[in-house]
Amino acid sequence: METSKEGNVAFLDRTSRATRGKRMTKLLDDEVEEDELFWNQEALKDEENDIEYEEEGEAVDVFDSDFDEDEPEPDEEGENEPDDRTRTKKRLTYPGRPPAKKKKKMKALTKSEKAHQENEEAPDPSTPSEHHDAHDDTEAERTIRKSTRTAVVVKQAEREAIRAALQATTKPIKRKKEGEEKKMTQEEMLLEAAQTEVMNLRNLERVLAREEEVKKKAIVHKAVYNGPQIRYISKNGSSYLEFVNGASFGSQISTTSTPYPQKAVCVVTGLPARYRDPKTRLPYATKEAFKIIRKRFAEESSRAREEKHMDELSQAISGQGFTSKRKRSIISNSRKTSYTPRVFARFRKFPADDSMSEDSE
């Protein structure tokens, strides 16, 4: 019974509230007031009694007598003079912010200035019509803005109605209950178990293969030295040497002292040598000894050269001789010629005698 009552109450028509739309109208009125405050600022209005501005009627063009004559160039000082009139800057304020209070400045006015001010404050017959026109403009702007706001509200209400209609037309998703799931037979369960077993075995093989590859890469085979070793051990304030794997004291540590190198002695004088000849590699002590060494070297080299020539001559005579006939050698047309050592025997090079050159110096 209670459920039926609640359902009937949901479909009853409700009476409209007395405060319905009160906040919305208040917000709209606040916006209108802010717009009026912004657009009716003194900075945006034209000053009615502007002292600096004076309307001038269209004057008839009057030509002077010296119109045809050339005008002199104006002085630069007159152009650069600053303008005496100072224009007051007007600031714009944001909507919703109260206008700033103007500071009153007391000035001592002369009689002429007071009279001029009283004349300005006198009402003109043309001002009421201008005020009336400005009021009409503000009212027109207010009506336009109210109409635009109402159009926005209407569009928003239409969108909400379309959204509610779409939600009502869409079908609710039916969720399956826990007990409505299809139950598998014994055969289907066995078949699925066999398939999962095959897949698990394949995955296991892949994982094991990857682990073996990783282990092979991780293992680093270090080279182990198994040759003779000498170990240095320090224990209880004393040091020991241990020879392992065939290492012995005599083979690793030499017991015999190395002899000192003998000092070189001059070949000629027998004095301790201070220099060494780069050609003969013989040590010498003085300049005279060096000359003697070079002289002996030159004599030995010339004697060896003569003996070599005599050996070559004896071999040539004993071999073929001069009486035997020889065939003429055929000279080939090719540019390449064979050079024998006998042809250039006369042009051999001999080392210069250093001792003779030194004597000549």
What was the pLDDT predicted at 144?
63
**Number of residues written out for the chain:** 361
Q: What is the rounded average pLDDT of the residues 344-361?
A: 46
Q: How many CB atoms lie within 10 A of CB 134?
A: 13
Q: What is the rounded average pLDDT of the residues 165-192?
A: 77
Q: What is the rounded average pLDDT of the residues 237-250?
A: 82
What was the pLDDT predicted at 116?
55
CA dist 233 to 230, 237, 243, Å?
A: 10, 10, 11
Q: Which has the higher per-residue pLDDT, 146 or 350?
A: 146
Q: Which has the higher per-residue pLDDT, 25 or 19?
A: 25
Q: How far apart are CA 356 and CA 352, in angstroms?
A: 8
Judged against a pLDDT cut of 50, whether residue 172 lies above it is answered with yes
Q: What is the rounded average pLDDT of the residues 330-338?
A: 53
Highest mean pLDDT of the ranges 26-30, 177-181, 207-211 = 207-211
89: pLDDT confidence band, cut at 50, 70 and 90? low
Which among 230, 233, 235 has a CA at the least distance from the CA of 253? 230
Largest Cα span, the chain: 164
What was the pLDDT predicted at 360?
44
Residue type, 133: D
What was the pLDDT predicted at 240?
86
Judged against a pLDDT cut of 70, whether residue 24 lies above it is answered with yes
Q: What percent of the chain has pLDDT over 70?
A: 51
37: pLDDT confidence band, cut at 50, 70 and 90? confident
312: pLDDT confidence band, cut at 50, 70 and 90? confident
Q: Which has the higher per-residue pLDDT, 350 or 327?
A: 327
- Is 290 within 8 Å of 274 (Cβ atoms)? no
Q: What is the rounded average pLDDT of the residues 185-190?
A: 92
- For 326, half-sphere exposure in the C-beta direction (CA atoms, 13 angstrom radius) is 7
What was the pLDDT predicted at 317?
78
What was the pLDDT predicted at 140?
60
What was the pLDDT predicted at 59?
55
Question: What tens digit of pLDDT does each residue of 319-331 get?
Answer: 555 555 555 656 5
Q: Which has the higher per-residue pLDDT, 51 or 157?
A: 157
Token pair 């509200």 in the structure block, residue: 153
What was the pLDDT predicted at 63?
63
pTM assigned to the model: 0.23
Highest mean pLDDT of the ranges 66-75, 241-250, 267-276 = 267-276
Residue type, 359: D
- Exposure class string for 171-201: b at 16+ Cβ within 10 A, else e: eeeeeeeeeeeeeeeeeeeeeeeeeeeeeee
Q: What is the rounded average pLDDT of the residues 168-197?
A: 80
- Is 202 within 8 Å of 215 (Cβ atoms)? no
- Is 353 within 8 Å of 297 (Cβ atoms)? no
Judged against a pLDDT cut of 70, whether residue 249 lies above it is answered with yes
What was the pLDDT predicted at 105?
46
Highest mean pLDDT of the ranges 23-27, 112-116, 207-211, 257-261 = 207-211
What was the pLDDT predicted at 96?
56
Relative orientation angle of helices 127-169 and 22-39, to the nearest 10 degrees: 140
